[in-house]
Amino acid sequence: MITEFTEQEQIRRNSLSELINLGINPYPAELFEVDATSKEILEKFPTDNSLYQSVNIAGRIMSRRIMGNASFAEIQDETGRIQLYFNRDEVCKEEDKTLYNIVFKKLLDIGDIIGVNGYVFFTKMGEITIHVKGFKLLCKSLRPLPIVKEKEGVIYDAFADPEQRYRQRYVDLIVNSHVKDIFIKRTKLVNSMRAYLNEKGYLEVETPILQPLYGGAAARPFKTHHNALDTTLYLRIANELYLKRLIVGGFDGVYEFSKDFRNEGMDRFHNPEFTQMELYVAYKDYEWMMNLVEEMVEKIAIAVQGATEIKVGDNIINFKRPWKRFTMFEAIAHYTGIDISKMDEKEIFATAQKLNVEVDETMGKGKLIDEIFGETCESKLIQPTFITDYPVEMSPLAKKHRSKEGMVERFEAICNGKEICNAFSELNDPIDQRKRFESQLELGKRGDPEAMMLDEDFLRAIEFGMPPTAGLGIGIDRLAMIMTNAHSIQEVLFFPQMRPEKKAIISNDSEFTDAGIPQEWIVPVKKAGFLTLAELKKANPNKLFNDLCGLRKKLKLEIPAPTLEMIKSWIE
């Protein structure tokens, strides 16, 4: 047998055609009525053994133990796994035992999806099991699944290679049950956040993803082109400026779960596309917003994990209110013992060097403070902590602090050593805003690729007047990582961005036959490593001749051995 499939794939394809020959449709069209799930059976049957005396259940076959005329199998549905018991004479009441002996035992495989009817009972081993009276094939699986086994909590042969898990997330979800759990929790997180915001009366809105100018954050964008308008568009890096336009327009509370795109490095905390929830509420300030974040995240923790305490790595994180609050200067003083709040730029620069923080001459006072904070404090903040009052240079969209010179009214919540949200009293002074944009332009001219662009329409909007507003951006992926104890952002995204999969380019058979290669030699030629005609043309005829003779023997081909002349004629 010569084939491009693996042996196991070929066996499954053979089973498929045998099923068809037996008159069994491997992909039937009609619905299969399901009236129970594995989870509810496992939960309810022990307390009432009269239940489930005729159930219909469907799922994927995950294991089989065949023993002559009796067999056990496990099927997996959306809620979990349950064992099935097949008995030859139960499944085949008549003389003809084909359905059990051939269809079940030989033609079905792990991975196939079946529907069964039967009654629930306890086996001698005490396991809740469905005694199958009839079954129906719903989908034949043509690829073998990795087999993951587990005993007493120990996983054997885990399907753990991150590349395969992320590229083939469907396989990951089938064989690694905890993975499904992460995504269910992620959705609970989003749902409870949305419910909280709706309950407060804020309006969920949608704003453009394709933007002629990108803004609202400091990041490099993805760039694209609109043909009809013949204009450059960017995928949004944030939606802040649009939501604030809506506040100008008279909505007092708007929010959006925003898929944002940033053209930057990728690692376990960064994916090129990620989700933020941004919220803007009129007539509020950042103090008020801090209280909202505390309350909202505490509620989410309870909704997702049922408790305010969550185990993340080696730490137990407690989201119970109130959270610790530090100004940035206080945090630095706390972790380094040095009070820099009264220092000038020179003194801060010297302090940074003393603390082994990497700094250079181009950094202004604000940047220096931020570097010191990032280096000495951030990773030590495990319990949720608000850091307030940031240097103005770092925050071109935040309002100047009501009492502290050089600072803005801004806070971040840090948790497990990472920023989870960023918020401020929004700058609504259009003249100040224009100046801040202009100084960003200066930074851009000096070569900062992340400097913000001047958004003339946004300025026009706030020149009409925006009420004092509190704004918040909260990273859904980061929060999901914490809430699900996930080590990387890739674990909380169904399909994280990966390098493109390398695809072998294979010439059509007709290209080979057109070049004079006989049909029966195409597979051996491909087996010998020449997948395209172009590669074959570069081959050494003597080596190919040897290889093909070897392959002829190995593959037990019943065709005459090739001649060297013949092979030379292919290559020329």
Partner RNA sequence: GAUUAUGUAGCUCAGCUGGUAGAGCAUUGCCCUUUUAAGGCAGGGGUCCUGGGUUCGAGUCCCAGCAUGAUCACCA
Binding site for RNA (CB under 7 A): 6-8, 11, 63-70, 72, 83, 85, 106, 109-110, 121, 123-127, 129, 131, 144, 146-151, 156-164, 166, 217-219, 262, 264-265, 267-270, 358, 370, 374, 394-397, 450, 487-488, 490, 498-499, 502, 504, 529, 531
Residue 159 or 255 with smaller CB distance to RNA: 159
Nearest approach in angstroms of CB 333 to RNA is: 19
Residue 216 CB, nearest approach to RNA (Å):
8
CB of 510 to RNA, least distance (A): 20
Q: How far apart are CA 524 and CA 555, in angstroms?
A: 8
Nearer to RNA, 351 or 440 (CB): 440
Show the beta-strand stretches assigned E in 476-558. none
Nearer to RNA, 38 or 490 (CB): 490
Nearer to RNA among residue 273 and residue 450 (C-beta): 450
Q: In whole angstroms, what is the distance from residue 35 CA to residue 465 CA?
A: 58
Minimum separation from the CB atom of position 395 to RNA (A): 6
Smallest gap from residue 74 Cβ to RNA (A): 8
Alpha-carbon gap, residue 449 to 437, rounded angstroms: 14
3-class DSSP string for 320-341: CCCCEEEEHHHHHHHHHCCCCC
Q: How far apart are CA 373 and CA 381, in angstroms?
A: 11
Task: Return the DSSP state at 312.
Answer: E
Eight-class DSSP state of 378: G
Kindly tell me the sign of the dihedral angle through the C-alpha atoms of 122, 125, 130, 135: negative
Which residue's structure tokens are 């469905």? 130
For residue 555, the minimal CB distance to RNA (Å) is 9
Nearer to RNA, 225 or 502 (CB): 502
Question: Residue 311: how many CB atoms within 10 A of its CB?
Answer: 11
Indicate the residue among 129 and 305 with the shorter CB distance to RNA. Answer: 129
Please list, in sequence order, all residues whose beta carbon lies within 8 angstroms of the beta carbon of residue 336, skipping any fewer than 6 positions away: 355, 372, 376
Q: Which helix (H) or strand (E) holds 290?
A: helix 286-305
- Smallest distance from RNA to CB 100, Å: 12
Helix (H) or strand (E) holding 261: strand 253-261
Question: Measured from the CB of residue 27, what is the shortest distance to RNA in angstroms?
Answer: 20
* DSSP states along 388-424: EEEEGGG-TTBPBPSSSTTEEEEEEEEETTEEEEEEE
* Beta carbons within 10 angstroms of residue 529's beta carbon: 11
Comparing CB distances to RNA, the nearer of 7 and 432 is 7
